[in-house]
């Protein structure tokens, strides 16, 4: 098989390559996804789907892998406006609902992205049941991964697994957006020290989402970054977005800056494609 997961190698490119493939397969329809997990990774996979949130739970005798499906990037100006509006409205919140206690366990002042919390809460009962059954059948390391939106959900699910008494062995994300504030980021760093690896292609704009953070930077990422490409490109992208957005996040919400931002972003969305990530990882 062309891919392998090496349990005792943390931050290893072989693991990144295998999990990037798993994240790619998470986009596939069920029949294609199951076959790709089997033929490319040697894993028996099952699709878990609730509302618009999907993940594959895959296993062999040595490991269990959860791979979340991401989302497609916007391809029109209207799509971009919708993406900005959704992210700007889904500001950091103190979660409520059935998993509120688990999310607030990140610490005093923890605030999470409402949209990601909602998606994770939707799929959690089915996902938890599937993974728990597999781990009960045989105790094995749990790997969690995802691309773009799937990367965000991988972080939230990993936190929920931890709170349930299952510490993920490794968490690897690709081009994921921010999921919470500095308290949340610090909790993820603390609890998953040495286990969390956040891959970012330098020109990829998605890790800067929610875009409201360009002008009101309350969101934060965990510290462990594996940067692919030239760091200067990432700095340039942030500078361009800030200049295009203007002084207030409201410019994004109202759409006043959408056309200008689109001109900056549209040529860079290719950098969020998993095909690009997989080429860079090798």
**Residue pointed to by tokens 């008494």:** 165
Q: Which of 188, 150, 156 shows the shortest CA–CA distance to 19?
A: 150
Amino acid 96: pLDDT: 92
Amino acid 249: pLDDT: 47
Q: What is the CATH number of the domain that holds 258?
A: 3.40.50.1820
DSSP state of 75: -
Q: Is 7 inside a domain boundary?
A: no
Q: Is 209 inside a domain boundary?
A: yes
The boundaries of the domain holding residue 257 are 13-281
Strand order in the sheet with 44-50: 44-50, 53-60, 63-68, 142-147, 170-174, 196-201, 225-228
How would DSSP label each residue in 211-252? GGGGTS--EE--S-EEEES-HHHHHHHHHHHHHHH-S-THHH
**Residue pointed to by tokens 């002008």:** 215
Under DSSP, is residue 173 helix (H, G, I), strand (E, B) or coil? strand
**Residue pointed to by tokens 């294609």:** 32
- Chunked in runs of 10, what are the mean pLDDT values of the chain (282 residues)? 87 96 97 97 97 96 97 61 55 90 96 92 98 97 96 97 98 94 96 96 83 64 89 70 56 56 71 91 90
Structural domains counted in the chain = 1
* E strand or H helix that includes residue 182: helix 182-191
Q: Is 181 inside a domain boundary?
A: yes
Q: Is 262 inside a domain boundary?
A: yes
Q: Which of 147, 146, 144 shows the shortest CA–CA distance to 170?
A: 144
Q: Is 3 inside a domain boundary?
A: no
Amino acid 30: pLDDT: 97
What's the rounded Cα separation, in Å, for the pair 274 and 5? 18
Q: Is 224 inside a domain boundary?
A: yes
């Amino acid at each position: 098989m062309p891919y392998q997961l090496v349990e005792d190698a943390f931050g290893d490119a072989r693991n990144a390559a295998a999990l990037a493939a798993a994240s790619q397969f998470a986009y596939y329809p069920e029949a294609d996804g199951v076959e790709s997990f089997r033929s490319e990774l040697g894993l028996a996979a099952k699709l878990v789907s609730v509302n618009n949130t999907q993940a594959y739970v895959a296993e062999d005798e040595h490991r269990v892998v959860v791979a979340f499906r991401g989302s497609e990037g916007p391809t029109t100006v209207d799509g971009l406006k919708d993406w900005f509006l959704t992210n700007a409205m889904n500001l950091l919140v103190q979660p409520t609902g059935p998993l509120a206690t688990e999310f607030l366990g990140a610490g005093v002042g923890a605030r999470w992205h409402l949209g990601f919390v909602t998606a994770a809460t939707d799929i959690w009962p089915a996902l938890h049941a599937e993974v728990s059954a597999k781990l009960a059948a045989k105790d094995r390391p749990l790997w969690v991964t995802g691309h773009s939106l799937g990367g965000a959900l991988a972080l939230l699910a990993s936190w929920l697994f931890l709170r349930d008494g299952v510490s993920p062995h490794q968490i690897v994300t690709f081009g994921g957006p921010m999921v919470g504030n500095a308290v949340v980021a610090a909790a993820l760093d603390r609890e998953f020290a040495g286990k969390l690896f956040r891959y970012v292609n330098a020109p990829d704009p998605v890790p800067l989402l929610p875009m409201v953070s360009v002008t009101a930077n309350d969101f934060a990422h965990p510290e462990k970054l594996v940067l692919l490409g030239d760091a200067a490109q990432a700095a340039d992208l942030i500078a361009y977005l800030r200049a295009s957005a203007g002084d207030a996040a409201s410019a994004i919400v109202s759409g006043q800056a959408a056309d200008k931002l689109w001109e900056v972003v549209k040529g860079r969305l290719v950098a969020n494609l998993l095909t690009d990530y997989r080429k860079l990882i090798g």
